[in-house]
Structure 1
Amino acid sequence: MTEQFTRWDSADYLETEEDTRLYLEACIEQDPGDGSLIRLALGDIARARNFSALAREVDVSREGLRKALSADGNPSFALVLRIAHALGLSLQVTPGRTS
């Protein structure tokens, strides 16, 4: 008997605002410092909602938004702020951990 695997997609599990908040917080905490996990988390959140509507709201083409939030993307900070705002999220700065 062979094992069968299905593709796991975190966007399928972001059903509530609390799910979204906790997921994004975990990705921010685990981000290696290059924004890669944050970028991918925003992409997952966007896919869990209406990706096309989000692209229109932040005034970027759907393909441009997909590229910006991909693993190889490099969105501007302004775009990240527009995306967060459009998703109903806010960014806060708090004292970080000291090494």
Structure 2
Amino acid sequence: MRRRVRHLLILLGLVGCTASPAPVFFGAARHDLVLEGIGFTVFVKNSHAEVVRLGYLPRKARDPVPALMVRAAEEASGCRVTGAARGLWRSPSLPGDTGEARFALAC
């Protein structure tokens, strides 16, 4: 019994290690990219993109991430980023968050 519980906890922990979209991006196309050694998962739906940075970065290494997130959204979608997503699509994260960002796209 203990062994099953331990295996279940390990499995749940591993499932939590993957990027998953916000509810408004359910059903979105998923794209996994590596830019300048940093992994990103991009979810593209309608004219919006959600970019999730993967892995740990020390604070000093985070400066280029916002520009890389824009680049990741554009490469994954084939569209141009026009700015931060608004309305229902907007990100609940604080401005400057390097872990997650949502963008409006012009295709």
**Same fold per superposition (TM over 0.5):** no
Q: With structure 2 as the length reference, what TM-score do the two structures score?
A: 0.29
> Which is strand-richer, 1 or 2?
2
Max radius of gyration: which structure? 2
Q: With structure 1 as the length reference, what TM-score do the two structures score?
A: 0.31
